[in-house]
Amino acid sequence: MLSELAATALLALSLRSIISLNAYSGYNKPPMFGDYEAQRHWQEVTVNLDVKEWYTNGTHNDLQYWGLDYPPLTAYHSYLVGLAAKSHNASFVELHSSRGVESREHKSFMRLTVLVADVLIYLPAIWILSAAIDRTFQSNIKQVLLLLLALYPGQVLIDNGHFQYNNISLGLAAIAIAAILCDKNFLAAFMFTLALNYKQMELYHALPFFSYLLGTTLSHKSFKSFATQLTAIATIVLTVFAILWLPWLHSIDAASQVLHRLFPLGRGVFEDKVANVWCSINVIFKLKKYFLNHQMALICLGTTLITVLPTNIILFWRRSKPMFLLTLFNTSAAFFLFSFQVHEKTILLVALPAICLFQWWPSEMLWFLEVSVFSMIPLLRRDHLLVPSAAATVLFHIVFKSDYFKDNKEQILENKLLNMTIIISEILMIFIVIGFIAIKPSARYPDIWPLIISVVSCAHIFLFLVWGYVKQIMQCNRKLNDKVE
């Protein structure tokens, strides 16, 4: 067991190190650069300015230039990394003059900080999650799940390639999911609150946690135990928030400034092409011509609520652990498709629950994971990460598509149909990627390939949402014994 664990960790770190050798977001693209510079700039700001100034515009903190737009836990993390940077080479985080540092030495430092987060948070977290799934469902799948989580190209390409720290928020969320599966509800509330305070996009996962925990506390027989449970969970959540937000709680202005940074309504319904419904509709129906920004925000809110509420209400009434995982998948997919200001990378939040469902629907979920990488291809190409993306995805496909992991039920018609559909879809995606690389778009439609990729991915993700709902409704008719066919 231990040797398997060590082998997986080594494999995971090797893959990440190899991806790290490649380019990152915004390399050599002054004056704004990209996410790499954003992360570095937050280190510069947090190390040099007083904590009260981190989220506010000022002479030393021009928010137009990569102002902090993640919650406090990200800011504290930037501060810690910034301190390390300062002691390593103060020029990395010197106020103003460090903008756009991109020496080899600095790249090694930055890449190393992501690997440190992998070792300290992501890898232990996915080990805990795969053990929890294995124990809860007696599925004997721990090793496969661990490998799947460790080698999923989407997360590696974005964190160790493009440059971000999703490994931290996803790791914290993975532990929270594991805690739910092991009936450690207080721990789940604690871990999830941390995840939410690292990246506000974790809101995509919030409703299923809320429905599940509320349903659990309400199921207590006596009012007294219900009240103590609910109070305990609320206390945990509020205490974590209060501690993390303490520097900005002295005035309403300060707190609302942070909130305003986290939810920048002014930035519009989407920025780059993204595989969601709004970007796809926008192809033929220019949304900006018909709706003001705040109207669009309300439309997003309404459609998101309509698509996420049913799945969470079902979870609330028919609470079970497989149902919880399905609801996480449905809710995050619906948020991705319908909410406001969605980024391509946010698909990683849907990928995490997809991996948790792998034991029941291996072919479907593997397909989803590949679609998720496909949907990020324009972003990865901009970062010059196309070759590592293709290599990592092909490797992933070969490892997990082998017959060993296929369910050995006899090939009923439904399975044949599914396999056919998957093959057709995968061939389509491969051809689109080849077209994207090889065929130069005409001057009239310069964005045609990213657009095709967005629309095709969006159609896939939408069908997956429908699929998730169908599976969930089928699940309702079963006895709640935590068994899924």
Ligand X SMILES: *[C@@H]1O[C@H](CO)[C@@H](O)[C@H](O)[C@H]1NC(C)=O
Residue whose CB is less far from ligand X, 64 or 481: 64
- Cα–Cα distance, 119 to 174 (Å, whole number): 15
Beta carbon of residue 91, minimum distance to ligand X (angstroms, whole number): 4
Residue whose CB is less far from ligand X, 62 or 272: 62
Is residue 260 part of the contact set for ligand X (CB under 6 A)?
no
Residue whose CB is less far from ligand X, 59 or 138: 59
Exposed e or buried b per residue across 81-97, where buried means at least 16 C-beta atoms within 10 angstroms of its C-beta? bbebbbeeeeebbbeee
Residue whose CB is less far from ligand X, 105 or 407: 105
Residue whose CB is less far from ligand X, 92 or 338: 92
- Cα–Cα distance, 467 to 482 (Å, whole number): 20
Which residue is closest to ligand X by CB? 103
SS3 state of residue 58: strand
Beta carbon of residue 63, minimum distance to ligand X (angstroms, whole number): 6
Beta carbon of residue 254, minimum distance to ligand X (angstroms, whole number): 16
Beta carbon of residue 40, minimum distance to ligand X (angstroms, whole number): 11
Residue whose CB is less far from ligand X, 13 or 63: 63
- Footprint of ligand X on 74-133 (CB under 6 A): 89, 91, 101, 103, 105-106
SS (H, E, C) 245-313: HHHHCCCHHHHHHHHHHHCCHHHCCCCCCCCCHHHHHCCCCCHHHHCCHHHHHHHHHHHHHHHHHHHHH
- Cα–Cα distance, 263 to 404 (Å, whole number): 45
62, 183, 272, 407: residue in contact with ligand X (rule CB under 6 A): 62
Does the N-terminal peptide bond of residue 31 adopt cis geometry, omega within 30 degrees of 0?
yes
Q: What separation, in Å, do the N-terminal and C-terminal C-alpha atoms of the chain show? A: 28
The count of C-alpha atoms lying within 13 angstroms of the C-alpha of 417, restricted to the half-sphere facing its C-beta, is 3
- Footprint of ligand X on 31-60 (CB under 6 A): 57, 59
Beta carbon of residue 106, minimum distance to ligand X (angstroms, whole number): 5
Question: Is residue 325 within 8 Å of 294, Cβ to Cβ?
Answer: no
Element (H, E) at 135: helix 123-137
Beta carbon of residue 94, minimum distance to ligand X (angstroms, whole number): 10
Beta carbon of residue 256, minimum distance to ligand X (angstroms, whole number): 15
Beta carbon of residue 67, minimum distance to ligand X (angstroms, whole number): 9
Residue whose CB is less far from ligand X, 112 or 305: 112
Among residues 234, 207, 244, 408, which one has the least CA distance to residue 327? Answer: 207
Residue whose CB is less far from ligand X, 103 or 295: 103
SS3 state of residue 100: coil
Q: Binding residues for ligand X, how many (CB under 6 A)? A: 10
DSSP letter, residue 442: P
Residues that bind ligand X (CB under 6 A): 57, 59, 62-63, 89, 91, 101, 103, 105-106
